[in-house]
Copies of this chain bind each other. A is one copy, B any other.
Amino acid sequence: MKDWLRFSVAFWHTFRGTGVDPFGAPTKFWPWEDGTNSIAMAKRRMRANFEFINKLGVDRWCFHDRDIAPEGKTLQETNSNLDEVVKLAKTLQGNNIRPLWGTAQLFMHPRYMHGAATSSELVVYVYAAAQVKKAMEVTHYLGGENYVFWGGREGYQTLLNTDMEFELDHMAKFLEAAAAYKRKIGFTGTLLIEPKPQEPTKHQYDWDAATTTNFLRKYGLIGDFKLNIECNHATLLVTGCHHDVETARINGLLGNIDANSGDAQTGWDTDQFLTDTREATMIMLSVIKNGGLAPGGLNFDAKLRRESTDVEDLFIAHIVGMDTLARGLRYAAKLIEDGSLAKLIHKRYSSFHNELGALIEAGKADFEMLEKKAMEWGEPTVASAKQELAEMIFNSVL
């Protein structure tokens, strides 16, 4: 079961989440925090992280560069701060723990307010490149299995002041340079792009799996990048998490899942822990079809609700998250073993399992040939799609 459930703790939510929201100040006052943003504090926090990971019995974690170490006055100083904390993390990791992935935080600082790779300011593009370069090095040093790009500010607020084509061209050049640098330093982890449809901008360029895949295809970046599908982001779409996971899968790009949950009806990002066993089952069905996610995994990119303020809540939340996905895996496996659902689907499409079906799929059935058949066969009869039966079968394993 461990191979299918490659869980990871997200440093930012679990150790840097403060409970801030657009209308409220911090609510979390963890006992290990001293109120400063010093390197000493960064180290104490990193120790807390590994104590937590060890107690939880998980062997992967994820981080942004700026979560784990404070910015200095210059980029040089910032990099040196990062090195110091990363060194400690390397020691604390020991032999069993490593990053599922690392990433650069290119959205919090005001310098990135117009984007990073898509900023209207050259100097910001340049700065972002330097930051990603360092974050990739650090991820490599820690033995990270993947490296993620979430374009937090790559998007627009209004087309009235935006040159969308210019910005997308820049984003492509940036990612191209990142892939080149990956090869240069011998980092063999997967590069992942994490789609999100909206928020913080009105339109995020990496909208969803299909939109991002279109971007990768347009700019010749397929091959260098896969996708990290975040359930909570896909919930902001109309079609939801299972759809986006499947879209990534059939495009050969399913690299990792951020296994969290949003609210199906409110329009903002709540990054809750996934507790819905039904959704977990559907996701795990796709994971099984994908032959697993490795070297990707299931990252708990989830935060305690603002009103959950006990240290034990951190444990409770991760445990319910792990339990939900484990149940999802068991239910999905049961569904596959049972075979009824697969049989239902196989039967639905069985009319294509013949010579003409093969010709069509080989691109050898032209319209004239097909018209002749249509004239010959007359009015089609079509079978029931049996959705309610499929739902009954699905429910039967829960």
- A3 at the binding interface (Cβ < 8 Å): no
Let me know if B388 and A120 touch, CB within 8 A: no
- A282 at the binding interface (Cβ < 8 Å): yes
- A38 at the binding interface (Cβ < 8 Å): no
Let me know if B160 and A266 touch, CB within 8 A: no
- A91 at the binding interface (Cβ < 8 Å): no
A266-307 contacts to B (CB < 8 Å): 266-269, 273, 275-278, 282, 304-307
- A15 at the binding interface (Cβ < 8 Å): no
B-binding segment of A20-28, A40-48, A53-61, A140-148: A20-28
Cα distance, A198 to B371, chains bound together (Å): 30
Let me know if A391 and B110 touch, CB within 8 A: no
- A8 at the binding interface (Cβ < 8 Å): no
Let me know if B268 and A265 touch, CB within 8 A: no
Let me know if B127 and A374 touch, CB within 8 A: yes
Q: Which residues of B contact A170 (CB under 8 A)?
A: 360-361
Let me know if A126 and B374 touch, CB within 8 A: yes
- A251 at the binding interface (Cβ < 8 Å): yes
Q: Which residues of B contact A269 (CB under 8 A)?
A: 22
- A129 at the binding interface (Cβ < 8 Å): yes
A145-197 contacts to B (CB < 8 Å): 152-153, 157-166, 168-170, 173, 176-178, 180-181, 197
Q: Which residues of B contact A344 (CB under 8 A)?
A: 161
B-binding segment of A95-103, A223-231, A318-326: A318-326
Let me know if A308 and B385 touch, CB within 8 A: yes
Let me know if B308 and A164 touch, CB within 8 A: no
Residue in A344, A367, A390 whose Cβ sees the most chain B Cβ within 10 Å = A367
Cα distance, A11 to B185, chains bound together (Å): 52
Let me know if A392 and B126 touch, CB within 8 A: no
Q: Which residues of B contact A25 (CB under 8 A)?
A: 108-110
Q: Which of B108, B214, B356, B391 makes the CB contact (< 8 A) with A213?
A: B214
Instruction: Count residues of chain A with CB under 8 A from any CB of chain B.
Output: 150
Let me know if A349 and B163 touch, CB within 8 A: yes
Known: A107-B24, A382-B121. A345 touches B163 (CB 8 A): yes
Q: Which of B20, B120, B307, B363 makes the CB contact (< 8 A) with A349?
A: B120
Let me know if A124 and B375 touch, CB within 8 A: no
The 7 closest A-B pairs by CB, nearest first: A267-B267, A214-B214, A307-B385, A130-B374, A129-B370, A264-B264, A130-B371
- A36 at the binding interface (Cβ < 8 Å): no
Let me know if A126 and B238 touch, CB within 8 A: no
Of chain B, the residue at the smallest CB distance from A29 is B110
Q: Mark A304-320, 1 if CB is under 8 A from B, else 0.
A: 11111110010011011
Q: Which residues of B contact A373 (CB under 8 A)?
A: 126, 130
Chosen A-B contacts, 5 in total, with CB atoms closer than 8 Å, are: A157-B305, A159-B242, A159-B243, A313-B388, A317-B388
- A37 at the binding interface (Cβ < 8 Å): no
Known: A122-B351, A375-B75, A392-B316. A132 touches B367 (CB 8 A): yes
